[in-house]
């Protein structure tokens, strides 16, 4: 903060230190400066190993990934911070990729649970789309399944129902607590099913069970279940039975192979301290809440970054806090007309679209 204030003072002669701090914290600074993106940066699709979206063999990539425990994906470009001496004021993306592995710590990941946060306009929904889309490209539906929960209008995961990984994609849940109750019952039932299988076959956790299943494919499956909740999990607004379901997920999810990613856009909700202590990774885009920045990445740094920049905190083998520039998941692909269908994320979903793989549990009808 002090270095940025000095840099601001150097650019604005006559401005004092406190005035510089006030200006940096002002809403006028929220929209910029945007990070520099050199032209030689690989696109999001190329970062995922896709040279040609029209011919890419997703099944081949899924088969190669199936033998590993990793759930690692690229999430953006490692970023050079502004020079503390004021020589470089803007953040600059580098060709080096930033990665996140939501697999458990015991197998080299930074999971199983974490949080994504950012104010409106920061780029959070792009980050969420990149997270789910990246997992879908690099890890097949036999390895990872998605349960996508949106408390609001449904734009966060629009179209993701078409992925064969998706077992449920629900929106406007803050307006339909009855449906949310059914979903919570479904989550509780799936966790109970997994724990029963572990007990029945004397497996210590989901990884041990999957190794056992390699020798006996007739055993019921247990892919990773990734629950991504957007602007939904406000503990104060939830009923106790609903909150207890997510308490259980955070408590036993590591053994049962269930991951929870809490995504919050805005700053009105109180940081859920009971859950924050279970987050083993966190990404914060621009935020106006020091409390959320500290809860997600461990310091106040996300208050001062511009839009499209993120701070990443990881436990495990890739521990520490890094700064990165998020991918543009809506970049235009190919020579087609510049409409929504030409955006990278839409082309990706269209290419992977297919009937959902069989699921052990029946979920409520999707809204």
Binding-site positions:
118-125
Exposure string (b/e) for 31-62, b if CB count within 10 Å is 16 or more?
eeeebeeeeebeebbebbebeeeeebebeebb
Distance CA 170, CA 105 (A): 29
Token pair belonging to 141: 């539906």
Residue 266's closest CA among 313, 230, 242? Answer: 230
Distance CA 171, CA 153 (A): 6
What letter would DSSP give residue 135? H
Could you give the angle at the alpha carbon of 132 between the alpha carbons of 178 and 38, nearest 5°?
140
**Pairing mode, strands 224-230 and 144-150:** parallel
Q: Are 289 and 33 in contact (CB under 8 A)?
A: no
Sequence ranges of the binding site for ATP: 118-125
Residue 284's closest CA among 328, 322, 320? Answer: 322
């Amino acid at each position: 903060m002090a270095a940025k204030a000095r840099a601001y003072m150097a650019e604005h002669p006559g401005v004092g230190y406190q005035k510089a701090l006030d200006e940096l914290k002002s809403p006028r600074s929220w929209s910029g400066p945007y990070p520099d993106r050199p032209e030689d940066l690989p696109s999001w699709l190329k970062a995922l190993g896709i040279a040609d979206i029209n011919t890419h063999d997703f099944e081949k990539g899924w088969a190669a990934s199936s033998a590993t425990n990793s759930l690692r994906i690229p999430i953006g470009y490692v970023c050079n911070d502004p020079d503390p001496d004021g020589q470089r004021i803007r953040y600059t993306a580098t060709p080096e990729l930033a990665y996140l592995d939501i697999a458990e710590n015991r197998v080299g990941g930074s999971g199983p649970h974490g949080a994504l946060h950012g104010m409106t306009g920061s780029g959070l929904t792009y980050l969420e789309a990149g997270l789910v889309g990246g997992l879908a490209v690099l890890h097949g539906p036999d390895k990872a399944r998605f349960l996508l929960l949106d408390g609001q209008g449904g734009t966060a995961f629009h179209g993701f129902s078409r992925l064969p990984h998706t077992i449920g994609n629900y929106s406007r849940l803050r307006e339909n607590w009855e449906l949310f109750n059914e979903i919570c019952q479904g989550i509780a039932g799936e966790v109970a099913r997994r724990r029963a299988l572990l007990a029945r076959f004397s497996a210590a956790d989901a990884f041990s069970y999957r190794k056992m299943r390699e020798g006996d494919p007739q055993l019921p499956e247990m892919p990773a279940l990734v629950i991504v909740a957007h602007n939904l999990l406000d503990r104060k607004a939830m009923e106790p039975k609903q909150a207890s379901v997510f308490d259980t997920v955070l408590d036993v999810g590591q053994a049962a192979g269930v991951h929870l990613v809490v995504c919050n856009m805005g700053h009105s909700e109180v940081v859920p301290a009971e859950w924050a202590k279970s987050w083993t990774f966190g990404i914060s885009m621009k935020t106006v809440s020091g409390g959320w920045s500290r809860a997600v990445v461990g310091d106040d740094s996300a208050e001062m970054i511009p839009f499209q920049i993120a701070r990443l905190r990881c436990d495990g083998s890739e521990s520490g806090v890094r700064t990165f520039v998020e991918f543009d998941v809506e970049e235009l692909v190919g020579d087609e007309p510049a409409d929504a269908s030409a955006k990278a994320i839409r082309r990706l979903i269209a290419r992977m679209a297919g009937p959902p793989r069989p699921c052990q549990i029946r979920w409520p009808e999707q809204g």
